[in-house]
Structure 1
Amino acid sequence: MEAMLVLPVANGILPRPGGGIIAGVFLPEQGGDALFQVGAKNEVLLCPWQAEEESLYPVGVSARIREISQEQAVAEDGTPLVVYLATLEGCEHVRWHSLREEDGYFFAGQLKRMNFRQSRKTYPVISGAGWLPQGGYTEFRSEADLPVTIYGTDLESEREVSVSANLGGLVSKEQAHTIEHAIIRALSGYGLCTAKTLLMSVIRETTELKQSVENSIRFTLPEIIGHTDSGICGNPMTNLARFYLARDFTDNLRGGKGMARSLSEARRKTMSELTGEIGLSLAPGLRVMQGLKKGMSHDDTVLQLKTYQQVIARFPFDPWG
C-alpha cells in the first residue's frame, strides 16, 4: 500500500470497515484542503488522536472518499468561509509503521492491512469503528455469573447497539466493573480495545476514580465522585452522593436559606453521611482505596495481559458480529 494522508480523529468517530458510511464538514485548516486535493474515489487513513500522549494511534481505518464538495458558509461573526462536505466509506483496518509531516499534514507509510476478525484467536480485539460507545453496566449476579454490557450508537442508523460478555470465573466483580469502564475508554480513545489499550485504560480509569474520591473529601465536593474523562461511573457511592446532595440542598432551600448557604451546608452534610455510611477511614490513602472498592465497586489491580486477552475474547468483535 502507498503512503496515505492521515486525518487525526479526536471524537472517536471512525467508519465501519467494509462499507460503513460517515459524512462530515471539514474546515480547510483541519484537513479539508488536503482531503479535497486527494479527491473522490481515493483513500485516506483515519487514525485516533491521543490527546494525553499528543500522538497518533498507529492503527486506524482506511476510508474511500465517495463525494467531496467545496461549499460557502458563514461563521458565527458573519464572516464568509469555505468548508468541505465529504462522504467517506470505511474500507479496512490499517496499521502504519512510519509517519512523516509535510505542510502541516501527516502521511503514513509502511502500511499493513489488518483483518482482526480472522486473527481473533491469537490477537483478540473489540472494534470501536462504526459506532460510538456511550455507557455500560455490569450485573453482579455471582462470581461465576458476571455479564458486562457496553452500549452505544450506530453511526449510520443512529440506533442503539451493544457488545456483551460474561466474565464470570475469570475476574472478580470489582474487576469486571473496572473492565467495563476501561473498555469504553479504550474504544473511545483508540478505536480498538486490545489487551494493551485495555490495560492502559484500566490504569487511567482507576487513577481518576481514586482522585475523584480524594478530591471530593478534601474539598467537600460530593458531586465530583465517580467523574472521569470517560464519563460518570454508576455505583452505590456516586448514586448516594447525588441523592443526599439533592435532598439536603432542597431541604435547605425550603427552610429559607440562601442558595450559596444551602449548597455549602448540603455538601458538608452529604460528605458526612456518605463517609459514615460506607465506613471510610480518616487516613487519606486508605479512605481512597475503601472508596474505590467498597463505595464504587472497582478494583485497581493490574492483571496480566493474558487475562485481558481472555476478557476481550469473550466479547464479539463488534456490535454487528
Structure 2
Amino acid sequence: MIETLYWKDNKLYLLDQTILPHEIEYCECKTYQEVITAIKTMKVRGAPAIGVSAAYAMALAEVQGENLEQAGQEIKQARPTAINLFWAVDKVLKSVEQGNTAVDTAIQMEKEDISINKKIGEYGNTVIDDGDTILTHCNAGALACAGYGTALGVIRAANEHDKNINVICDETRPVLQGARLSVFEMQEENIPVRLIVDGAAGHMMQKGEVDKVVIGADRVAKGGVANKIGSLMVALAAKRYNIPFYVAAPISTFDFENNIFDTKIEERNPEEVLVVNGKYIAREETRVENPAFDIVESNLITGIITEEGIKKPL
C-alpha cells in the first residue's frame, strides 16, 4: 500500500495527490506554512489525512521555534469543513501542555489513525455480504488517511475476509478523486472495480447492480454528515431503491456541539469546473458555483461505521 505521508529528518513528506495516478511524487515540507499550502491546494486531502498533516504542521512549527498557538490558528484556516483539522491542532496543543513534544504527538497520531481505520474496516466488514457490489463516492481510502482508509478500509477488510466483492467508483467531479484515486487504490490491490460518471449512480441502482453504498465523511454532526459534493444525490438514489447507505468515519470526525447545517461549506476555485485538460469547457466569464461538499441528512443514512462500532446518525 502506497504511503500517503511520512516524517523523516524533521520534515514532512506528502504524496502529491493532484498528479495521481500517472505520477507518484512526494512534496517535501520543511515549514508549517508549506503544509498549509499543500492542504489548500489538495496535494493532501481527505479528513483523516488532513488531520494527521495538521498535527505534523504543528510539529514543524515546534521545530521552527514558532509560537504553537499562533501557528495553530493559521493551520485551522487551511480548509474550513473537515473537522479533523481543528481536532488535530487542539489535540497537539493539549498534549504539549501536558509536557509532550508536538513531534512525538504527531507521530503517535499517525499510528493511531491507521489502527483506527483497521477497526473501522473490521466493523464495516460485518455489514458486507459475500458477492456484494459496493458503490463509493469520492476517495475515503488509504490516500485520504495516514493509511488503510475508512470507506475503502471497509472494502479492504471485506476483501481480506475473502468476500467476493465488486466495487463501483463514480468519477467525483470536478477534481475526479473517485476516478484518479479510488480506482487506483482498488486496481493496486486487484479488487474488481468499475468506473462510472457521477450521473450514472442512480441508473446503476435502478438496474439492481448496487448492493451497498459506503462513503466517508468530512464532518459528522447532529442532523447528518458533510461529505464531498455529490454525496447527497447518491444518498437520495439509494433511499429510493432501498439500498443500505453507510458512512465510515472515525470519532475524530464527529462534531458533537453543532448542527450539520451550521457547517461552513467550502467554495473552491471556479477553474476546477471550467477547465478540463487545460481547456475551458465553457466561456471563461461563465459564473460558476463550486461547493466542495454537501450534506447528507440523517434519515438517509443506515449507519455510521466507526472504530467503536456502527452508530446511528446523530
Give the TM-score taking structure 1 as reference length. Answer: 0.27
* Structure with higher helix content: 2
Normalising by structure 2, we get a TM-score of: 0.27
Question: Higher strand share goes to which structure?
Answer: 1
Name the larger-Rg structure: 1
